[in-house]
Amino acid sequence: MNNEVALQNQYELSKTLNNKVNVAHTASQQLALQLKKIKQVNQDATLTSMSNNCKKPINNSYNLNNYKTLKGHFDKVSSCAWYPDSSHLVSSSQDGYLLVWDAVRGLKNNLVELDDPYIMGCDVSHNGQFVATGGLDNTCIVYKLGTDIDNENRSTALLSILRDHKEYISDLSFLHKSSTQLITSSGDKSCILWDTSKGGYVRHFYGHLGDVLSLGVNKNDGNNTNPNLFVTSSSDRLAMLWDTRAPLASRKYLVNARYDSSEIEFFPDGNCFTCGCDDGTIKFFDIRCDGELSTYGIDKVRRYISLNGLQSTVPAYVNHNMNSATSVNFDSQDQKSTSARSLHSNIQASIDNPGVLSLDFTKSGRLMLASYAESSSVFVWDIVTGDIVGALNGHSGVVSKVRVSPDGLGVATASRDETIKIWSV
């Protein structure tokens, strides 16, 4: 009897706390909307409105050449990261392997068999000796994995196993110019700063009210920026700015009122960042003015796809089922009509919510490369004018990760078609 009373009290307490959290979440969103309106009143210009002063517009046929296609994985490639030498990169796949590639020659130099194949992200340390991975097993694992060909027992490659997240690890990154400290984001609504030399965490970061879906670290250590900054995006539709030395967020930005903030990346100068949403829009924020500078909409992507005849990621069987569904009489009440209506609704929802999958910038920051769930191409945006000036075409599946090399001369695109492509001028 006492156990039943204790369980009932625990249930009531949990219900009360959840209600308070929901009320606080709603109030927080309302305040964020009010702040956004105030900022919009004081905003006297945008990047697009000032682009007429740009003396050297970029040609609208800015396309890179496919230098190499790296084949070796046997399932979707979830992520990739460049080594500091800009000649090698590591890739993770759902086939359960990490592969180290010689991107110049197109050869595999090393591999690690993973305990859990469902890896969400990977990154390389500043010295190029360590690779960190994180995924659905809630664990960040760091491997000693250089670029040299290794024929020895690869079980010795394991360096650290970092456990403290309660849910999946959505993204991770080594701090700029660091080989020991890295940050992970998780579905448990938190981020953790780790020190691999100590094998444990340094600090937790709490503040999001939803899954933290992506993070980006400041890679600029100039005099005008803070190298300790990083940004996060979440399913609570907020982006947050953090300092690794403090447990609470420095700034909060309402990215989208209806859709999750799924992807985020720091601008090369360390003063701005972009955030992609599940509706396909990308927002560009400046930390100095604490506001939004520009929006890059999905409508321009769709128009570019239509004008250039690019490949759609809607599979053939979906098109067939879509045609079948639309050919059914929805006015009838039989089971076939109900199933067809449901199928049509689901397909239409997936088309209307393409989502931004990955973002990165050229070394100068003038161009932004973005991949979407709607197309297998990577689109090249002119940050200033807000126009699409080119595309990287060639993958048969959507691109899960796009990464510009540290020297700025190459681009790697990891795709669900089981390949990685290397692009250059």
**pLDDT at position 150, please?**
62
Neighbours of 332 (CB within 10 A): 11
Query: In 3D, which of 165, 182, 166, 164 has the Cα closest to residue 174?
Result: 182
Neighbours of 210 (CB within 10 A): 16
**pLDDT at position 36, please?**
73
**pLDDT at position 151, please?**
54
| Domain residue ranges in the chain | 64-303+354-424, 312-348
Any residues with CB less than 8 A from the CB of 282 and at least 6 apart, and which?
Answer: 274, 275, 276, 295, 296, 356, 359, 368, 370, 381
**pLDDT at position 313, please?**
59
96 within 8 A of 117, measured Cβ to Cβ: yes
Q: Which amino acid is at 239?
A: A
**pLDDT at position 64, please?**
86
Cα(232)–Cα(216) distance, integer angstroms: 7
**Would you identify the CATH topology of the domain 64-303+354-424?**
Methylamine Dehydrogenase; Chain H (2.130.10)
**pLDDT at position 55, please?**
61
**pLDDT at position 411, please?**
97
Q: Which amino acid is at 347?
A: I
What is the mean pLDDT for each group of 10 consecutive residues in the chain (425 residues)?
Answer: 77 85 82 76 73 67 87 94 96 94 92 88 94 94 84 65 94 94 96 91 94 94 84 94 94 90 94 94 92 92 87 48 39 44 44 79 94 93 92 93 95 96 91
